[in-house]
Amino acid sequence: MRFVTLVSELSLSDLRAIAKGSMQCTVTDIDFLETLAAHQCILVPPWILRAQPTGGLARVTKIVYDTDGNIDKVAVLLAAARELKRGQRRDFGFGGRFSM
């Protein structure tokens, strides 16, 4: 699975660089939401949830906030990518219509 943001096409390594502060870039709200949607994820505070082929929802990661009280979009996307990759390795089998 290759994790890339949908709008600005930031790779996983780009997101890590932003989180470390070595890359000056931000993830816009639309990029954040579109990227989650592309991976069948939705934002339901305090969690990011993912649709399952059975019709249920699975918790992907907890939403984290920055010091200003805003969603830390980079940290959430990194955590979601990590969990989605872990799920793929374990072959959770999200089903045909939810394949990546």
Model pLDDT for residues 6-53, shown as the tens digit of each residue: 777 888 888 999 999 888 888 999 999 999 999 899 999 999 999 887
Q: pTM to 2 decimals?
A: 0.80
- The pLDDT assigned to 91 comes to 54
Distances in Å between the alpha carbon of 97 and those of 34, 38, 51, 57, 94? 18, 12, 10, 15, 8
Mean pLDDT of the chain: 83
- The pLDDT assigned to 88 comes to 66
Instruction: For 4-72, give the secondary structure using H, E and C.
Output: ECCCCCCEHHHHHHHHHCCCCCCCCHHHHHHHHHHCCEEEECCEEEEECCCCCEEEEEECCECCCCCEC
